[in-house]
Amino acid sequence: MTPAIDAHVRFDTHPTHPSAVQAVLTGTQARVALMALEAADWNVAATNVLVLARIDHKEPYWADDAAKHLTAEGISVEITPRLQEAIDEEWTWLNYPMPWCTRSEIRGISDRAQKIHDDIRHGHLLIHAHAHAHAHAHDGHTTVAVGTYLHRGGKSVYLHGEDHLRQVTNTFDSPAQAMLVFEKIHGAGVRPGRAPLTDTEWAAEEARNPRAFTAAKGEPGRPEPEIVPAYAADAGDHEALLDTFLDTHGEFEKRRTWSDETTHAVHESQTLRIERVHETRTRETAWTVAAYETPVSDRMWHLTATRETPAPVLQALLIHLADGDGWDTVIGAPVDEETVTTATQPLTKAGWKHTLSGHGIRWTSPDGVAGVQFDLLTAQHPQNPATWTIWAGANPDLPTWVITPSSHAPGALLAGLAETLAQETGRRQVQPGRKHGARLTASPPAAPTVAVGRSR
């Protein structure tokens, strides 16, 4: 029987993601099928190609559900044999924390978690802060957060868990009430904004990226190194970088925790300390640098870096610390226009574009894949980790790597990192035939005027 709508949808497994599903649309009325799939939270990845990538790994189930609805609407549907096999298999969770739940109940819990994830991703649920909290004996800790819906009456919510286990465990009448309770429970562990993406969330974002389909079409081959800007280089071996640094700088003493999870490099003055966490998840903090006025005083400033930080950038950081730039700050001095201009001058000279956005100033690389941001509102708080953000990736919310110096991070150190980002190169492994985009050049823009409040 000829379908009432001239549209055909071919459902298949995703070319790179283990559980995601793709839908290829054809026919003169393919737009009808596209609108129906978009309404069911499928994402357009290319012309007439949509992707369903979830954080609960239930894509085959929901692809089958979408196929049934499209068929009922008179749209021709095809499910490939390999996707049908995945549909029939049904994903199961090992060590599920609620073993009394039926498969249908587990799917319902996961779907509610998926809706929370989608609301955050689409900007419908604004996350104010997050923290780590004890979860279960088998997984140690989980992420908790507090946020406010920008619709649904504007209710504020307390979120517990990650990925397919995230759920709303409390509601509040206002963001202020929610934050007061959240800070009372989690105290010093509270961090601003949403937590870094989990590995599962990051994989889903990558599955939706059109590059996943472009890369899948290439012929596999032996990786070849290419020369790229420092911010696009591979992370390399961070362990080897730290070992080399300690071998060549005897003024730093190596200390390793009893659990062997963390290495500390402590300067002989006891006022500069480097912490390296060996086992971290993607985009979690792997490095922390902290400087003190005296061995027993509060921190003057600190800096964190994720495990994906490129080797040239991390090496530059260690070199500047060894050269004494870690103490180049003044206690209590405000972060003024001169400090910001000096710290970012290498970016301006290299043609990085600067823009004013919200309450911050952002410098973006000519190719648009790296940036440095200075937050004006948090600049007067010495320990605020959100004052400076250095990153590379799609955008600051979906970075490949991040470095976050606090407000009083030394200007010489920041300028050194900026110079590495703007001028230095590194190596990256790529498949044959893949070419890195040419670096764009532009006339250096005028340095931005920075109006920073002065301490009284």
- Tell me: the pLDDT tens digits for 68-94? 999 999 999 999 998 998 888 755 555
Residue 209: pLDDT band (50, 70, 90) is: confident
Residue 205: pLDDT band (50, 70, 90) is: confident
Averaged pLDDT, 162-173: 92
160 three-class SS: strand
C-alpha to C-alpha distance for 230 and 244, rounded to whole angstroms? 19
Check residue 2 and give its pLDDT.
47
Which segment of 49-53, 69-73, 160-164, 443-447 scores lowest on mean pLDDT? 443-447
- Which of the two residues, 106 and 129, has the higher pLDDT score? 129
CB 338 within 8 A of CB 328: no
Residue 347 pLDDT greater than 80, yes or no:
yes
Check residue 441 and give its pLDDT.
31
Averaged pLDDT, 347-356: 90
Give the CA angle between residues 156, 159, 165 to the nearest 5°: 145
Check residue 117 and give its pLDDT.
93
Which segment of 232-246, 276-290, 328-342, 431-445 scores lowest on mean pLDDT? 431-445
What structural domains does the chain harbor? 8-89 (3.30.780), 103-200 (no CATH), 224-430 (no CATH)
Averaged pLDDT, 110-114: 91
* H-run or E-run covering 134: strand 125-134
pTM across the whole model: 0.51
